[in-house]
Amino acid sequence: MNLLVKNIRIIDPLQNIDEVTNLYVSQKKIAAIGTPPPAKFNAETTIDGTGKLLFPGLVDLQARLAEPGSYYKGSIATETKAAVAGGITTICCPPDTNPVNDCQAVTELIKRRARQAATAFVLPIGAITQGLEGKLLANMVSLKKAGCIALSQANQPIQNSLILKNAMAYAACNNITVMLRCEDQQLKNDGVAHSGAVSSHLGLAEISSSAETVALARDLILVAETGVKAHFSLISTAKSVEMIGEAKKQGLPITCDVAIAQLHLTEYDVMEFNSLFNTTPPLRSKDDKEALRIGLKTGVIDAIVSDHTPLNRDDKLLPFGESKPGISSLETLLSLALKLVEEGVLDLLSAIQKLTQNPAKIIGINKGSLTIGNPADFCIYNPDHDWVLDRTKLVSAGDNSAFDGWQFTGKVEATYFQGRLVYGD
Amino acid sequence: MRLSKPNIQLNAQGKLHHFLTLEGLKHTHLTEILDVAQTFIDPATGEINKVDSLHGKAIMNLFFEPSTRTLTTFEIAEKRLSADVVNLNIETSSTKKGETLLDTLWNLEAMLADMFVVRHNESGAAHFIAKHVAPQVHVINAGDGQHAHPTQAMLDMFTIRKHKKDIFDLKVAIIGDIQHSRVVRSQIQALSILEAREIRVIGPTTLMPSNPDALGVHVYHDIEQGLDGVDVIINVRLQNERMQSALLPSEKEFFNLYGLTKERLKFAKADAIVMHPGPINRGVEIDSEVADGEQSVILEQVTYGIAVRMAVIKTIFDNAQALKK
């Protein structure tokens, strides 16, 4: 099927495109961008994009799709629908499923379910250790062969430094990318909130910034020693930005991401003990939020992720410290990232770059850009559509958004996956 | 602090509907309770007489954590107000059988409770319960995790007022485990609202909150400097867990550094009073000579606890009544 989207402002950071022009799709792939149509192109469908924007489909390095696991929190089918409603067409899902994605069978199950849903491209991330227990290595190469794009420990970082070093060395010689979240469990000490003004007031068990930075310091040293290709996930402190910036300057080939919520929320949002603001890592201080924003601007932080975690209501209907951490955030990733543009933190091209080109490059896939021959994954965005988020109306099976009642300017109007309309009308 | 959100413990008239924390309350909310408490104490005998105020009201004491003193004084206070009282020991109840906290609550609510008095080991548990009970049901926080214990702080303020007339202009020192104490958090808030001149906290950094500035207190690591010229000394209990998590070496060393002894008491004003929310560890945070000494008001605190809790309960029901009219 041939599709023409005309007179639309196309943004493609990889090709440095920001202009009002036409997009041609043929055979599920990008055929051309420009004013004259490619040879022998007859559009069967034409969309007039006047006044709208067109972005490459977003690449999300971390979103939980609730499967395998409990069905009442959603499924790959429901969550990929939520993803495309937010303009995301490629999703990496962490291994903390139930059962854990530490063997080929689970990886294959995830891929099969994603193919059946046929709504977005799902790339599983396998576990580094069996059962994520941090003790015995998972069959890392088998996982890679089965289709895992990288390996990680999700939110259960390896505590034993020797095991971590061995895992990194083994991954390095097999050319496997590891995604590391840095958290020292002993320093975390069962804490539930950032150690700062709010935890001092509320008497919530504290997680100091050093719980992240002590682990990060260790991990940086081991990455340098083993030469593994490492990506740091969900950094949350000002000091982490500084340390990663310094390591990059010294030539360490590392990348990192930040969860979108950390760029908009702080410890003060916890003030009413609202469990919707319970996250891992915890919402940090205002200074941390500012440093993360600056880190994005300077390029220390490469990508923004949703860290989507759909939960059922009972998981949040508990006192703060007993509730499950996590935010349902596929549908707000793009809108919240573009709020950073409104607030002057990023220009439009860089914001889209952190959601498309950069994450695609980190995992080495030909997605996140409108290069000719790439799969036709893109979204059409109406910048004048004002809306208010009502968390009970989310597409995701998890209604645990922390942005209920927020006002947004601009909304995804349609999303195309492999040239096919998967969201919008 | 950002506290612009509506305070869930206040009703449409800005009066107490629940009593969860002192944070966000005004001077008048506190003085009203202290004044009402005073009316329950017989000026001649100093005893607390039974009144008929809450005839027909059902109060459930929901204790998810063991307590003797707080539970008993609440029960006495409720009975002196002529309410029907049910004590629920959660050890023997359904949350152990997998029922969620909310299901337990809704069941009890269906039994027509008018008020829950709640103690729970999670900070914020009382807020959580208050958010989910029916609008006509009241919640009093009898201690939640390390967050707040507002009735204890109010009885401490009552005790101070008994001895010092006005809290305004007083220097108060709190010694011991500040970080892990819900009582201290509430005391600090009460003292700030009642405009105490200075609030000092004394102890090692490992027992201090990570952000004392946010609480508006001055930190002293040296007890003699900290006690210098204060009007009120509040001692808090040191729990054994603190040694296990390497926050302190030993009880002995703590006593050597921070134990309240007769010699150290001399640094405070001559008429300073010594308080302790109990239960006390003699020879750990306080010397027996001081605990049983002339300046100690520790046992008075317990008696006043009944009057103050009566006042909190009655004020809440009166406010609800006033709202109906």
Over residues A300-319, the pLDDT tens digits come to: 999 999 999 999 999 999 99
* pLDDT range class, residue B1, cuts 50, 70, 90: very low
Is there a single domain that holds both residue B140 and residue B180? no
Residue B3 confidence class, pLDDT cut points 50, 70, 90: very low
Q: Do B147 and A205 count as a contact with CB atoms less than 8 A apart? A: no
3-state secondary structure (DSSP) of residue B91: helix
More confident residue, A260 or A74: A260
Contact status, residue A122 vs residue A114, Cβ threshold 8 Å: yes
For residues A266 and B2, give the distance between their C-alpha atoms in angstroms, rounded to a whole number. 11
What confidence score (pLDDT) does residue B241 get?
Answer: 73
Residue B171 sits in which domain range?
Answer: 150-298
Domains contained in chain B, number: 2
Smallest Cβ–Cβ distance between B102 and the set A197, A199, A317 belongs to A317
Catalytic, out of A96, A102, A257, A307: A307
Do both B39 and B160 map to the same domain?
Answer: no
Quickly state the pLDDT bin for A6 (edges 50, 70, 90). Answer: very high
Contact by Cβ (8 Å): A96, A64? yes
CATH of domain A57-363: 3.20.20.140
Q: Is residue B18 part of a domain?
A: no
Residue B100 has pLDDT above 80, yes or no: no
Do A317 and B145 lie within an 8 Å CB cutoff? no
The tokens describing B250, both together, are 């030993």
Chains A and B: how many Cβ contacts under 8 Å? 83
Average pLDDT, chain B: 91
Q: With bands split at pLDDT 50, 70 and 90, how would you rate the model's confidence at B245?
A: confident
Alpha helices (H) in chain B, listed in sequence order: 27-39, 69-80, 101-110, 125-132, 150-164, 182-193, 212-215, 223-227, 241-244, 251-258, 262-265, 288-291, 298-324
**B154 and B139 housed in the same domain:** no
Q: What pLDDT score was predicted for residue B6?
A: 64
Tell me the CATH number for domain A3-54+375-423.
2.30.40.10
pLDDT at A71: 66
- In a shared domain, residues B160 and B215: yes
Which of the four pLDDT bands, split at 50, 70 and 90, describes residue B4? very low
What pLDDT is stored for residue B2 in this prediction? 41
User: How much is the pLDDT for B97?
Assistant: 59
The yes-or-no verdict on residue B244 having pLDDT over 80 is: no
- Percent of chain B, pLDDT > 70? 96
Is the Cβ pair A273, B212 closer than 8 Å?
no
What's the CATH code of the domain at B33?
3.40.50.1370
| B246/B317 same-domain check | no
- On average, the pLDDT of chain A sits at 96
Predicted confidence (pLDDT) at residue B114 exceeds the cutoff of 90:
yes
Kindly list the residues from chain A whose CB atom is less than 8 angstroms away from the CB atom of residue B212: 200
Q: Are residues B158 and B77 in the same domain?
A: no
The question of whether A307 is a catalytic residue gets the answer yes
Residue with more model confidence, B17 or B45: B17
**Three-class DSSP category at B149:** coil
Indicate the pLDDT class of residue B302, thresholds 50, 70 and 90.
confident
Q: Which positions in chain A have a beta carbon within 8 angstroms of at least one beta carbon in chain B?
A: 189, 195-206, 208, 268, 271-273, 275, 314, 317-322
- A235 pLDDT higher than 50: yes
CA atoms within 13 A on the CB side of B159: 29
CB-CB under 8 Å, A273 with B127:
yes
Q: Is residue A46 predicted with pLDDT exceeding 90?
A: yes
Residue B21 lies in a domain: no
